[in-house]
Amino acid sequence: MHYTLRQLQVFLAVAHYENVTRAAEHLAMSQSACSGALKDLETQYDVQLFDRVGKRLQTNELGRLLRPKAQALLAMAQELEQDLKRHKEVGNIKVGATLTIGNYVAIPLISRFMQSHGARVGLEVANTQTIAEKLLNFDIDIGMIEGEYHHPDLEIIPWQQDELVCFCSPRHPFAQQKTLTDEDLIQAQWILREPGSGTRQAFDRAMHGLLPHLHILLELQHTEGIKRAVENDLGISCLSKISLKDAFQRGSLVPLPAPQRDFHRMFYAILHRHKYRSAGLLHWLDLCGIDTAGQKE
């Protein structure tokens, strides 16, 4: 075996940052040492792993093919080193979650993971598109998302059911209605999540046929911001029932049934098909009720 783990680290860092200088900074190496390690790797096997595009180094076809394999090999080596050292942080994982899951579902799971496994969970909260991109770039170990996402390198696993609910403030004229008609939905002013979010994806699907006629006043990235806007009578909205439970109990927001529209959706776990599944990741899947074959138990 002629390559070294350090050479693989350099290859992966350059692939991630698309820049030798930034890769060297990340690895605490000099730029010349980083560049030399990459050159040695390519020279040893008479290959080219990157194409130069302006000031960026983009992985070519061979680089893209080898990157997930190198990532998995390095992850296994790092876990072996942690096991050998008996380090207290064995099993740490990075989870990416969309807004509703991150704010209302993930925290109890993180608590159980830390208490039962003695490890830490890093949590990044963003929309579905961003979480998928981070997973594809190996920035996180697993994604928990609200929207559907398709990519050949990602495994999409159905996790649990959810439901969106339309709502308004107690002062809104719709608050006195038992149900909303399609005409009501068209007449309303809407405060919605931004395009690219799982919640918006589910809303658009539920409103099929009405979308061109809806009056969308605001598109916001944060659930709490949308709830505050509705409480201040700027319009009505539609979010996960999970995120509205407390507000409904307080009476600061009022649910608006629209039985002719299907607001049910699925939460998903997403994994990189080529990423090494560490003991910590397998334990997280087990806590979520997902078996190691990728099927919901």
On whether both 66 and 149 belong to a single domain, the answer is no
- pLDDT tens string for the chain (297 positions)? 788 999 999 999 999 999 999 999 999 999 999 999 999 999 999 999 999 888 889 999 999 999 999 998 988 888 777 766 654 444 789 999 998 999 999 999 999 998 887 778 999 999 888 999 999 999 999 999 987 889 999 999 999 999 999 999 999 999 999 999 999 999 999 999 999 888 999 999 999 999 999 999 999 989 999 999 999 999 999 999 999 999 999 999 999 999 999 999 999 999 999 888 888 888 899 999 987 564 554
Residue 84: CB atoms within 10 A of its CB come to: 8
DSSP letter assigned to residue 49: -
The CATH number covering residue 46 comes to: 1.10.10.10
**What is the pTM (predicted TM-score) of this model?**
0.68
Query: Closest by alpha carbon to 153, among 173, 179, 135, 171?
Result: 135
| 297 belongs to a structural domain | no
Residue 185 and residue 254 in one domain:
yes
Q: Could you tell me the residue range of the domain that residue 255 belongs to?
A: 163-264
Kindly state whether residues 144 and 272 are assigned to the same domain: yes
Is residue 81 included in any domain, yes or no? Answer: yes
Supply the pLDDT for residue 294: 46
Q: What share of the chain is helix, strand, coil (3-state, %, to 5)?
A: 45, 25, 30
